[in-house]
Amino acid sequence: MVDFKGIRSFHSTVCLYMRQFSTCLHYSFLFLMMILCLNAQPIFSNQANVVRSLVIKGNRSFSREQIQNLIQTSVGESYDVEMLKKDSEKITRFLHNKGITYARVTESPKKFEDGVYISIAIDEGIIDAITLSGNTKTKDNVILRELLFQKGDIYVEADKKESERILRQKRYIGAAKIESKWDAELQKVAIHVTVTELFSLTGALDPGINNQSGYFLAQVREANIFGSGQAGQIRYERITEAGEKTRGLFTWKYRMPRLVNSHWNFDSEYVQKREGDSWRVLLERPQYTLKSRWSANFSISELINEVRWYENGEKTDIFEQTLHKTSGNILQYFGDRHHQNYLGFWFDSHRTIYFPIESIRVSDASPSNRNIKRVGITLGRRNVGFHQTRFLRGMGGDEDFLSGSQFHTSLGYASPLYGSERTEYYAAFGVNGGWVSQNRFFGTARITFETSFTNQIERSVLQARSALFFRDVFNTGDIYRVDTGFRENGLFDFQQTFVAQFKSEMQFGWRGESQVVLGSGNGLRGYGLRQFNGEKMMVLSLESRTLCGGDFFRKINDGLTKVSTFFAKPFIKDRIVDLGLILSATVFTDIGYIWDSYNTFDIQEVKSSVGFGLRGSVSQVSDAGIFRIELAFPLDPPLTPPLQPQIFYGVERAF
């Protein structure tokens, strides 16, 4: 039989224990809830002070990670008001140091029960408007296209400085200044560009005619055709000689920058000469800005020239040289504005043909025809910097003195596989740089070495050039600026510059093929144009330049202005033609030496000279050049007595 009594007793016992356990569990739960309630306020308080979200917006120049690494406030950490303000200041300083001048940073923290939500808004300074002044001839879009920024871009100080430099490089612009201003009402940046235009249309006329022979020259050159930035030149030269047929020779040159609104430039020329017609076509994409990642150029030409050979200061042979040349290169740049590495590919094809025209006497001249086609690579590194100055190489206009250093190496190979007359290797190495100290000392140096070889080194050329400028010895400041004219500083205002320049060229393995000459044409003033010849030469020139300013020289320029305005009235109405005449007095000494493989250095063979002169430029005219009148006295002439003066006059490019 089933014991129902026992079952009921067991069931009653279990139920009793269950009720007791339930009661204990109930009271335990109540006790736990009481503890939680007592500690609830501090827990909720800590949660409300934790950064739950951090949003960074408006950063276009730098990534969120770069900005985040600058600050200490982060998600999951406690919110600190003072720390957030310091973080905003750090971001602002960082952007200002990077040239983002008008950057503003605002923080917006919002508190909720579960924590703090932070928004950091960055306004990097957006350009709203760009205005121009000073360009009476040049079209607005011609100037605007040269700027590295446009409406809607972020204003960056480095872009402004480089844009000024790009504008100053234009032959029709003498000075450029870009000013920026924060518009508090629009919360945007306003840009104003001021340029000083140069007279870009120039001409020349030389009607030299007599009954025995005649010469007529007419030339028109325009560096800014119809304000488009394009340049052209037309030249007609007529030569008449007794018993000879009259010859008319034409020259056409045309340059179109920014081809089809791109950064490609097109340059061409066609020149008729007595020897024959020459032409050249160039298509290039320069590294117009240091931010550009690549550059390229391609050219093709056929040039006919007269090559003269000299020995002991006398002309011995004349050859007609025909040079067919095709070349091109592409360079890729890596790095930033100031430190760049570059890698490039290049090709070069040149075919040279010599034809003897006249042989006056026996000489070593024996140039050989060549047909070389090469391909190669270029490797380089450069550290780039610029310093704005004046009157180092030009007169009146702004100059951008390049400081820093550059190293490059090129390796090439010529092979009959692609049309070369023989297998040949080519190597070149170059170093150049410049430096500035306290705006008083300016230095430049350049060394290049190139060689061609097969199983042995055959032809090599070493060139070196260096210059040291020490300026403002008497006075400090700009005596004359293209955009402001002469400064007011008394009747006479002088600025002194001392210049030391050294250059050398050494050829190895070119005997009979090529030669180095020395004379007034390359730095040894007081001697013949090509009085000395050899295979290696060096020249040291010391020069003291006194730039002339003040009221006296300003009045000279004012008189010239009145004369030029009078003659320009039929062509230019209601405009004063200020040519900007700048004068400089010079005192110099030159020391030169030339030798060949058969001679060793002999100090008694060193040639030297002393002299003085006057230089000047009409700085308001595009491509006017620098006219020179110098009287030099040779101290070691081989034939004439010492100190017999030699006069030089002409127009050159460099100061």
Tens of pLDDT, residue by residue over 595-654, are 988 877 787 889 999 999 999 999 998 888 899 999 999 998 876 677 788 888 888 877
**What is the per-residue pLDDT for 640?**
64
pLDDT confidence band for 329 (50 / 70 / 90): very high
| Residue 366, φ and ψ in degrees, nearest 5 | -155, 60
Q: What is the mean pLDDT of residues 369-374?
A: 95
Region of poorest pLDDT, from 291-305, 332-346, 387-401: 387-401
* 256, two tokens: 């179109």
Each residue of 14-41: pLDDT tens digit?
Answer: 444 455 545 555 555 455 455 444 444 4
Q: What CA dihedral angle connects 273, 274, 277 and 280, to 10 degrees?
A: -40
pLDDT confidence band for 427 (50 / 70 / 90): very high
**Which residues, 6+ apart, have CB-to-CB distance to 365 below 8 Å?**
309, 316, 317, 319, 512
* 120, two tokens: 């950091």
pLDDT confidence band for 43 (50 / 70 / 90): very low
Output b/e per residue, 324-350; b: 16+ Cβ within 10 A. Answer: eeebbbbbebeeeeeebebebebbbbe
User: With 70 as the cut, is the pLDDT of residue 133 above it?
Assistant: yes
What percent of the chain shows pLDDT beyond 90?
A: 57
**What is the per-residue pLDDT for 23?**
53
**What is the per-residue pLDDT for 605?**
86
Asked whether the beta carbons of 115 and 43 are under 8 A apart, the reply is no
**What is the per-residue pLDDT for 105?**
93
Identify the DSSP state of 154.
Answer: B
**What is the per-residue pLDDT for 211?**
45
Q: What is the mean pLDDT of residues 445-449?
A: 97
Q: What is the mean pLDDT of residues 171-175?
A: 91
* 106, two tokens: 């605002």
Q: What is the mean pLDDT of residues 194-204?
A: 88
Please tell me the chain's helix, strand, coil percentages from 3-state DSSP, rounded to the nearest 5. 20, 50, 30
Q: What is the mean pLDDT of residues 244-253?
A: 80
Q: What is the mean pLDDT of residues 555-569?
A: 87
pLDDT confidence band for 260 (50 / 70 / 90): confident
Per-residue CA distances from 349 to 194, 284, 415, 514 (Å) = 45, 17, 11, 19
- Nearest-angstrom CA–CA distance, 516 and 503: 13
**What is the per-residue pLDDT for 46?**
63
**What is the per-residue pLDDT for 21?**
47
> How open is the CA angle 14-20-21, to the nearest 5 degrees?
90
Q: What CA dihedral angle connects 121, 126, 128 and 129, to 10 degrees?
A: 160
Q: What is the mean pLDDT of residues 130-149?
A: 94
Q: What is the mean pLDDT of residues 257-265?
A: 90
**What is the per-residue pLDDT for 153?**
93
On average, the pLDDT of the chain sits at 87
- Nearest-angstrom CA–CA distance, 62 and 452: 48
Name the more confident of 48 and 109: 109
Region of poorest pLDDT, from 406-415, 486-495, 644-653: 644-653
User: With 50 as the cut, is the pLDDT of residue 315 above it?
Assistant: yes
Range among 81-85, 343-347, 434-438, 577-581 with highest mean pLDDT value: 343-347
**What is the per-residue pLDDT for 242?**
55
What percent of the chain shows pLDDT beyond 70?
A: 89
Q: What is the mean pLDDT of residues 438-466?
A: 93
Asked whether the beta carbons of 116 and 73 are under 8 A apart, the reply is no
**What is the per-residue pLDDT for 238?**
81
**What is the per-residue pLDDT for 18?**
52
Q: What is the mean pLDDT of residues 202-218?
A: 67
Asked whether the beta carbons of 340 and 290 are under 8 A apart, the reply is yes
**What is the per-residue pLDDT for 451?**
96
Name the more confident of 290 and 47: 290
